[in-house]
Structure 1
Amino acid sequence: MIQKIFYGETNPLTEQAGEANTSLFKSIAPTRPRHIDVIIEIHLDHPLGREAAKLLVYNQVAALQGEDPEVRVSPADSSRHYVFATLTMDQLSLIVAQDLDPSTGARAIYKVWPDHNLEPFIDRSVRMIKADACYRTFDATGENILWAVIDSGIDGDHPHFARYGNLLRDPGTAETDGEAPLLRPRDFTGGKSESPLTDGYGHGTHVAGIIAGASPPAPAAKASTKGEAAQPLLPAFRIRQSRNELGQVRTEMTRLPKSIQGVAPQCQLLSLKVLDDKGAGKESSLLAALDYVARVNEHGDRMRIHGVNISLGYPFLSPEWYAAGHSPPCAAVNRLAAQGVIVVVAAGNDGSAVLQTEANKRRVGLSQSIADPGNAEDAITVGSTHPNEPLKYGVSYFSGKGPTADGRMKPDLLAPGERILSCASTAAVAKLAEDIDLEGQLDPKPGEAYYREQSGTSMAAPHVSGAIAAFLSVRGELIGQPRRIKELLMDGATDLKRAREFQGALQVGGAVHQQFLDAAWLADQLAAHRQ
């Protein structure tokens, strides 16, 4: 069947009054003829095949552009499963009405969804998940592992990514590699020019710095006039905000006393940009990015992108339209996992709300607050905990909480997500320079690296991405087995003794290090894997 989204009293699919379900669109289309963004899902069982069906729908939408300049349609190769368009409800109704082939009864359109707005889910945290111990003991650095960061872009000029050459850059060659698209950074925001290695919003750069990279080294020591070696200073600075004794928020900048690094410092990163410079994006951009990963990997036949980090999404608001875990992004995540890609997703930051009682207001935790695509069954969905003392402080108040609306336990894991220090993009530094507290202090110079603190499940998810990348760099036989990796993490990490729907199975702290150290476990897993 085709999902009913039509505005008005008559549903053109049934030609019966009163069957139009308009709840999703009343908030975005209160008057006609307002244009709305939609995702048109293609019918996989069309007699002419999926590609032909998609082209039929694409041509129908494109034909309307000559009559209405506000009609938009994404390039035909944006997705294999969907057509992304901007239409009025009348235009959409017309396309659906014309879709039926009277001779065969076949339809090219399967469902139509609203194109939801995406939102981002905004040092010692590395030590808390024991990544530094794995690095020192097993040289688990993430080398030869490629992780895609679906976010607001990554600042390609940040020195944090220079030491190990973490950022995959555009090779500037042909657009395809055999039958697969060329492996390169991509920008799905629909701007006039692609800029995946710029980050005007700053979110993606911060996320990427948690996964991989390292702050620039100190310059070589120089002898002082007394003949003693002068202590070199790191060309790296920390910018943080805190409240003083009067409750006022103050911003301060200090030089980093020692180097910091991502969880998997040598992991390669692929920027897939879906949020613009204001942090805004569309669900269709996320779907296009996920489809790109699938095509680059030739649907599991050629594993080049090993994992994906998604620190963004949108609340699960419409169970009358699709069951929890079955929205288009959730379906895309599950397809990608079935093809061997590990997909790590932030749980979202809607885990609490202010409740007005008769006497006062109070903040309470919210169950069923996991955001999409974190509701996907095969996603590794990550909530947030304290960076230093998770056993003491438990689950962050803002962290999305389960169960899912259909009763499954989520999140799967917790990781540090409060006041996490990571890279500040060039644009973020420029904005911070406007802070009156930093007046005259912040004067960025080439080669200097700036870091800032941010909180959210957006920061928790890349800790898990980095931990898995480090793990796979020394356990390559588990590449392409996302469900097995998920089981290992959930079976081996630390229980915080909180409610299961709050904390997930565990806090990721002990999992990675324990699995490396347990020789018996290692032998058993290798034997089981060979069977």
Structure 2
Amino acid sequence: MFKHANPGAPSAQPAPSQEDQAAAAKSTLPLGLDWLVDVVAFLVGTGDAPDADDEAKAEQAVIGHAAFDTESLPPITIGRVATNRPAEPAITQSTLAVKADAARLLFNVSCASVTWAIIDSGIDGSHPAFASHDPVTGAPGPTRVIGTYDLTLIQQLLDPRYISSLFREGAALTPEQQTLKARYQLNLKLRGMADTDAPRLGRQLADRLDNGFELDWGLIEPFLWVEAPGTPSRGHGTMVAGVLGADWRGDQAPYTVRMQGICPDIKLYDFRVIGADGSSQEFDVVAALQLIRYLNAQADRRTIHGANLSLSTIHDVTSYACGSTLICQECDRTWASGVVLVAAAGNRGHERYMLAGGAELGGYNSTSITDPGNAEGVITVGATHRAFPHQYGVSYFSSRGPTGDGRSKPDLVAPGEKITGPVPDVGLTTDDGTSLAAPHVSGAAAMLMARNAELAGRPQRIKEILCGTATDLGRERYFQGAGMLDILRALQSV
């Protein structure tokens, strides 16, 4: 079939000459790159050989400074010429997987006004990953770890024998012990009690903690404050804090980014509940949650918007109903006060069963959510692959629901395999666990509050948003919860 000429069409224009095309191409290139047009024209056979000056520039531009000898090269087909742009170091794969980088760029979110507590083994605040940075030059500033409390001291402070030693005549006391004794004496005086009643007061405070009642934080809080915190003996808390809020840059200008967490400018509180030997007591965690509420009630203190609990305690079915343990009750109270709590689901998804006679049977534990993940007032987070969650699904170790009383848990999943994060003494390591999945969700909650100030103090609404915008991985509900965390969708939905 032939095409008929259109009488109304404009007449064809003569094609521009090669010289005109070259001149037009040169005009579109950045200053100093006009030689590139002549070189490309020669390579494709439409121009003369470049002069000596252009040839020298081309040699410098070729990787490895290869000689400009086209006779020995096969014919070249050039599809595109592009400028060589500087490459930026990639942030962690898991940050990309939950779309935190895209959300920050699209919505221009800064979490500098948000404060999060890390209830864990401690944060190495001297690590460069937690330095603040000048918004213009990028130069490092003070640490973003704005306060440290050592909750592992709480049992000692409430021990009547320890308290008695403070009031023993002639006892040599450290400055910290002298401060504690003075505060005890003031508290005793206000209560109309004598110094000899100090051990009894300690027992009363301990009983309150044992029964889930509020402690006298006006008395205890100053002693738990650590003025000059040392480097934690264990790196778990530092790594968890890094996944949430690391901003590790080079030592010198231009301070190139080495690693970033979900919220690279967030402020952090360090609540230490894990001792040097790796042990922790449930009462220490309960006390940490009470302390958060106490600090938030003080008008002169910075509000703690949320807390991350990347730790787990096996639910004791013989003593408490599921979700009703002391730590779960304390989580519910703190949640009701307006604080977002994010908890790891636990790493007991693949357990060994003990049969009669002591024989072990390997297999998947069908119900393995740990406390405080069993609490209603927390966002419970399972783990998935850091880069390919759709392909690999929920991690084999991630604890599975439902809870012991039939509630749906976990709430959602986030990357928890081969996660990279900082460790004390300017270190960097890679590890697995739901402990590292949880801070991804903490970061998402913080970004929601930073972007939408009206969400501050509304943890239930934040939980609904995060679960409602999660990506379905096509796995069983009791494995994946609502699905994979998607920070970009969460911010777009509000």
1:513 corresponds to 2:488? yes
Name the counterpart of 2:267: 268
How far the C-alpha of 1:371 sits from its partner, in A, is 0.6
Question: How far apart, CA to CA, are the structure 2 residues paired with 1:281 and 1:315?
Answer: 13
Name the counterpart of 2:48: none
Q: Is the 8 A contact 2:323 2:375 kept in 1?
A: yes
Deviations, residues 79-100 of structure 1 (Å, cap 9, x unaligned)? xxxxxxxxxxxxxxxxxxxxxx
Name the counterpart of 1:217: 250
Give the one of 475, 484, 492 matched to 2:452.
475
Give the one of 138, 145, 150 matched to 2:107.
138
Where 2:342 maps in the other structure, the secondary structure is strand
Deviations, residues 90-137 of structure 1 (Å, cap 9, x unaligned)? xxxxxxxxxxxxxxxxxxxxxxxxxxxxxxxxx110111100001111
Question: How far apart, CA to CA, are the structure 1 residues paired with 2:230 and 2:115?
Answer: 16
Question: How far apart, CA to CA, are the structure 1 residues paired with 2:107 and 2:432?
Answer: 30
1:464 corresponds to 2:433? no
Question: How far apart, CA to CA, are the structure 2 residues paired with 1:264 and 1:329?
Answer: 27
RMSD: 3.1
Question: How far apart, CA to CA, are the structure 2 residues paired with 1:459 and 1:265?
Answer: 16
Q: Bigger radius of gyration, 1 or 2?
A: 2
Where 1:371 maps in the other structure, the secondary structure is coil
Question: How far apart, CA to CA, are the structure 2 residues paired with 1:366 and 1:168?
Answer: 40
Question: How far apart, CA to CA, are the structure 1 residues paired with 2:360 and 2:433?
Answer: 23
Give the one of 458, 462, 478 matched to 1:485.
462
Give the one of 329, 333, 343 matched to 2:331.
333
Name the counterpart of 1:374: 373
Give the one of 349, 359, 377 matched to 1:351.
349
Question: How far apart, CA to CA, are the structure 2 residues paired with 1:260 and 1:130?
Answer: 15
Name the counterpart of 1:203: 236
Q: Is the 8 A contact 1:185 1:270 kept in 2?
A: no
The change in CA–CA distance for 1:313 and 1:356 in structure 2 (over 3 A counts) is closer
How far the C-alpha of 1:272 sits from its partner, in A, is 0.4
How far the C-alpha of 1:185 sits from its partner, in A, is 10
Q: Is the 8 A contact 1:154 1:197 kept in 2?
A: no
Matches within 5 A, 1:142-181: 142-164=111-133, 165-169=143-147
1:342 corresponds to 2:340? yes
1:455 corresponds to 2:427? no
Which protein is richer in strand relative to its size? Answer: 1
Question: How far apart, CA to CA, are the structure 2 residues paired with 1:321 and 1:362?
Answer: 26
Question: How far apart, CA to CA, are the structure 1 residues paired with 2:240 and 2:397?
Answer: 18
Question: How far apart, CA to CA, are the structure 1 residues paired with 2:280 and 2:340?
Answer: 23
The change in CA–CA distance for 1:313 and 1:299 in structure 2 (over 3 A counts) is farther
How far the C-alpha of 1:516 sits from its partner, in A, is 2.7
The change in CA–CA distance for 1:137 and 1:329 in structure 2 (over 3 A counts) is same
The change in CA–CA distance for 1:138 and 1:184 in structure 2 (over 3 A counts) is farther
| 2:462 partner amino acid | I
The change in CA–CA distance for 1:151 and 1:356 in structure 2 (over 3 A counts) is closer
The change in CA–CA distance for 1:143 and 1:420 in structure 2 (over 3 A counts) is same
How far the C-alpha of 1:145 sits from its partner, in A, is 0.3
Deviations, residues 468-491 of structure 1 (Å, cap 9, x unaligned)? 112211111100000000001111
Q: Is the 8 A contact 2:306 2:340 kept in 1?
A: yes
What TM-score, normalized to structure 1?
0.57
Where 1:289 maps in the other structure, the secondary structure is helix
How far the C-alpha of 1:180 sits from its partner, in A, is 7.7
The change in CA–CA distance for 1:301 and 1:321 in structure 2 (over 3 A counts) is farther
Where 1:315 maps in the other structure, the secondary structure is coil
How far the C-alpha of 1:200 sits from its partner, in A, is 0.6
Name the counterpart of 1:528: none
Question: How far apart, CA to CA, are the structure 2 residues paired with 1:406 and 1:325?
Answer: 8
What TM-score, normalized to structure 2?
0.61
| 1:393 partner amino acid | Y
- What runs of 5+ residues in structure 1 fail to find an aligned partner? 1-122, 222-231, 235-257, 427-448, 523-531
The change in CA–CA distance for 1:515 and 1:311 in structure 2 (over 3 A counts) is closer
How far the C-alpha of 1:363 sits from its partner, in A, is 4.5
Q: Which moved more, 1:275-284 or 1:333-342?
A: 275-284
Question: How far apart, CA to CA, are the structure 2 residues paired with 1:400 and 1:406?
Answer: 15
Where 1:485 maps in the other structure, the secondary structure is helix
Name the counterpart of 1:84: none
Question: How far apart, CA to CA, are the structure 1 residues paired with 2:124 and 2:383?
Answer: 25
Matches within 5 A, 1:319-330: 319-330=317-328
Question: How far apart, CA to CA, are the structure 2 residues paired with 1:361 and 1:332?
Answer: 35
The change in CA–CA distance for 1:323 and 1:169 in structure 2 (over 3 A counts) is closer
Question: How far apart, CA to CA, are the structure 2 residues paired with 1:455 and 1:157?
Answer: 24
Question: How far apart, CA to CA, are the structure 2 residues paired with 1:481 and 1:303?
Answer: 17
Question: How far apart, CA to CA, are the structure 1 residues paired with 2:374 and 2:230?
Answer: 29
Where 2:428 maps in the other structure, the secondary structure is strand
- What runs of 5+ residues in structure 2 fail to find an aligned partner? 1-91, 134-142, 150-178, 184-215
How far the C-alpha of 1:182 sits from its partner, in A, is 11
| 1:513 partner amino acid | L
How far the C-alpha of 1:183 sits from its partner, in A, is 13
Deviations, residues 475-516 of structure 1 (Å, cap 9, x unaligned)? 1110000000000111111011111111111110x2x21133
| 1:129 partner amino acid | V
Name the counterpart of 1:388: 387
Name the counterpart of 2:286: 287
| 2:303 partner amino acid | R
How far the C-alpha of 1:184 sits from its partner, in A, is 9.1
Q: Is the 8 A contact 1:384 1:456 kept in 2?
A: yes
Question: How far apart, CA to CA, are the structure 1 residues paired with 2:299 and 2:362?
Answer: 45
| 1:315 partner amino acid | I
How far the C-alpha of 1:354 sits from its partner, in A, is 3.9
| 1:159 partner amino acid | P
Deviations, residues 135-179 of structure 1 (Å, cap 9, x unaligned)? 1111223120000000001012101111343210479xx999xx9
| 1:329 partner amino acid | I
